[in-house]
Amino acid sequence: MRHRKRRSRLGRPPDHLRALLANQVCSLIFEERIKTTVAKAKATKRLAEKMVTLGRKGTLHHRRQAAATLHNKRAVQRLFNEVAPRYLDREGGYTRIIRLGNRRGDAAPMCLLEWVEEGPVEKKHKKTEEAVAEEAATETGTEATEEPVGSRPEAAEESDMAAPTSRGAEEAEAETEDDEPDAGGEKEEESK
């Protein structure tokens, strides 16, 4: 009887299971996101989070423990140098499972296993135009106006009057000279 045996065997012998999970974690490290079945994702998630915990500690001993589990030097290097430093302030929950529905053919439940974003997860709210204007005003150090900047006709005229950025200074001077009446037409011939 398998009482109190939490670990899923996924219908494989133990050596095949270890190899499968190590390969899944290496793929997750390199690709940042993998598509797999829900059962495999849940088993992979446990090992991936243990590997990130080893990476966060960062000692030679922990690097060797990760190498003994993953059997891939490049994956261990990337884990310790790129993946684990993202989660230094996070106490766990480095991966997420996003369910996709059932696979065609055998109807196996599929999902995406991916790393969560670094830093605390915040809910994104839609910002109103007023909030955007206030944020822009605080960044530039001016007071917020009630109407957006682009809606005023004066703002459009001011932007047209601004110095051209994509053209050279000579072309801008040539345009202003063309607007002024010239005496003999010599400047006009030189510019053409």
Asked whether residue 187 is domain-assigned, the answer is no
Are 19 and 83 part of one and the same domain? yes
Are 101 and 54 part of one and the same domain? yes
Domain of 62: which CATH number? 3.90.1030.10
The pTM of this model reads 0.60
Are 37 and 83 part of one and the same domain? yes
What total number of domains does the chain contain?
Answer: 2
Are 62 and 135 part of one and the same domain? no
Domain boundary among 77, 92, 115: 115
Distance in angstroms (rounded) separating the CA atoms of residues 72 and 26: 8
Could you tell me which residues come within 8 angstroms of residue 61 by beta carbon, excluding any fewer than 6 positions away? none
Are 96 and 31 part of one and the same domain? yes
Asked whether residue 189 is domain-assigned, the answer is no
Beta carbons of 75 and 103 less than 8 angstroms apart: no
Are 103 and 141 part of one and the same domain? no
3-state helix, strand, coil in the chain (%, to 5): 55, 10, 35
Are 31 and 73 part of one and the same domain? yes
Q: What is the pLDDT along the chain (192 residues), one digit of tens a residue?
A: 989 988 888 999 999 999 999 999 999 999 999 999 999 999 999 999 999 999 999 999 999 999 999 999 999 999 999 999 999 999 999 999 999 999 999 999 999 999 998 644 444 455 566 666 776 777 766 554 555 555 555 544 554 554 445 445 555 555 555 555 555 555 555 554
| DSSP code at position 89 | T
Residue 118 has phi, psi (to 5 degrees) of -75, 150
> pLDDT value at position 159?
47
Are 21 and 96 part of one and the same domain? yes
Are 27 and 103 part of one and the same domain? yes
Are 59 and 32 part of one and the same domain? yes
Strand order across the beta sheet in which 109-115 lies: 33-37, 109-115, 95-102
Domain boundary among 115, 150, 171: 115
Q: What is the token pair recorded at 76?
A: 């261990």
Residue 162: give the domain boundaries.
129-181
Asked whether residue 7 is domain-assigned, the answer is no
Are 22 and 74 part of one and the same domain? yes
